[in-house]
């Protein structure tokens, strides 16, 4: 799966990852940041997004998840 996801991400010229603050989008953001250091990660704040999800994003969710996981590869 690692190779397949890397291949898909590399087909996108300038990827931007949208995160909700949940585990799935933060995991994708952490993985993508290994493929594209400095990748843009966006998070919308709206009534549809739980406050806890915004808090995870503001508190460095993707960076913390990547650090906790060590390496996705």
Cα separation, 40 vs 38, in Å, equals: 6
Question: How distant, in Å, are the alpha carbons of 27, 41, 50, 58 from that of 17?
Answer: 11, 5, 18, 15
pLDDT tens string 27-65: 888 889 888 888 888 877 778 777 877 776 666 555 555
Tokens of 48: 């549809």
Which residue(s) pair with 42 in the sheet? 18
Whole-number Å distance between alpha carbons of 9 and 39: 11
Contact in structure between 20 and 53 (CB atoms under 8 Å): yes
| Per-residue pLDDT at 57 | 65
Task: Please give the residue that has the higher pLDDT: either 52 or 17.
Answer: 17
Predicted local distance difference test score (pLDDT) of residue 66: 53
What pTM was computed for the model? 0.62
């Amino acid at each position: 799966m690692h190779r397949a996801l890397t291949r898909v991400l590399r087909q996108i010229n300038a990827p931007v990852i949208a995160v909700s603050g949940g585990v799935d989008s933060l995991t994708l953001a952490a993985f993508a940041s290994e493929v594209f250091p400095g990748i843009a990660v966006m998070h919308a704040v709206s009534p549809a997004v739980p406050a806890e999800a915004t808090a995870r994003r503001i508190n460095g969710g993707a960076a913390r998840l990547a650090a906790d996981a060590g390496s996705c590869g």
